[in-house]
Amino acid sequence: MNQRTSFCKAVLKAGISALCLALSIGLLQPSKIEALSLGKLGGSIASTASEQQKVRESLDYYENAGRNELFEEIKKTDGVINDPYLNNELSSIMTRLTNAVAKTEPSIKDKPYNYFINPQTVFNAYCTLGHNISVNVGVFSFFDNDQDKVAAVVAHELVHGQKNHPINGAKKKMTVEFVQKVAGSQMSGGSKLAVDVVATNAKAVGVTKPNEWEADNIAFGYLTDAGYNPGAPAAVWQRVIDKMGSGSKGFFDDILNPSTHPGEKERRDNYAKKLTEYSNNKVTVNAATGEIKVNNKSFMKPAGFGNISGLERSYLVAGKLAKAYHSKEPLAQARNDNGVVRLGDLAIVQPGSADTSADELVKILNEIK
Q: Does residue 174 lie in a domain region?
A: yes
Using CA atoms, how far apart are residues 73 and 198, in angstroms rounded to an integer?
9
Judge if 20 and 142 occupy the same domain. Answer: no
DSSP run (H or E) holding 40: helix 38-63
Mean pLDDT of the chain: 85
Q: Is residue 263 part of a domain?
A: no
State which of 208, 240, 266 marks the end of a domain: 208
Does one domain contain both 29 and 106? no
Give the 3-state secondary structure of residue 195: helix
- Better pLDDT: 254 or 79: 79
Q: pTM (2 decimals)?
A: 0.83
Same domain, 78 and 188: yes
114 domain residue, yes or no: yes
Shared domain for 131 and 18, answered yes or no, is: no
- R_g of the chain computed on alpha carbons: 27
pLDDT in tens, 158-215: 999 999 999 999 998 888 777 777 666 555 555 678 899 889 888 867 778 999 999 9
Using alpha carbons, select from 203, 200, 219, 117 the residue that is nearest to residue 162. Answer: 219
Co-location of 64 and 175 in the same domain: yes
Residue 73 lies in a domain: yes
Phi-psi sector, 98: left (phi>0), alpha (psi -120 to 50), beta: alpha
* Whether residue 178 sits in one domain with residue 91: yes
Instruction: Name which of 77-86, 199-208, 209-218, 299-308 the model is least confident about.
Output: 199-208
Range of the domain at 16: 1-35
Same domain, 160 and 201: yes
Q: How many domains does the chain have?
A: 2
Task: Say whether both 191 and 64 belong to one domain.
Answer: yes
- Asked if pLDDT for residue 294 goes beyond 60, the answer is yes
The closest alpha carbon to 151, from 98, 215, 228, belongs to: 228
Mark whether 186 and 82 lie in a shared domain. yes
Q: Is residue 14 domain-shared with residue 125, that is, in the same domain?
A: no
What pLDDT sits at residue 179?
A: 74
The tens digit of pLDDT for each residue in 272-290 reads 999 999 999 999 999 999 9
Burial class (CB in 10 A: 0-12, 13-18, 19+), 246: exposed
Q: Does 200 lie in the same domain as 101?
A: yes
Q: Return all residues near 178 (Cβ < 8 A) that are at least 6 apart.
A: 201
Residue 167 located in a structural domain:
yes
pLDDT (0 to 100) of residue 40: 41
**Cα 16 from chain centroid (whole Å):** 46
- Is 124 part of a structural domain of the chain? yes
Same domain, 146 and 15: no
Domain boundary among 186, 208, 230: 208
222 CB neighbour count, 10 Å cutoff: 25
Which of residues 1 and 342 earns the better pLDDT score? Answer: 342
Q: Are 293 and 284 in contact (CB under 8 A)?
A: yes
If pLDDT is split at 50, 70 and 90, which confidence band does 32 have? very low
Give the end of a domain, one of 154, 180, 208: 208
Does the residue 91 lie in any domain? yes
pLDDT tens-digit series, residues 38-76: 344 444 555 578 888 888 999 999 999 999 999 999 999
On whether residue 344 sits in a domain, the answer given is no
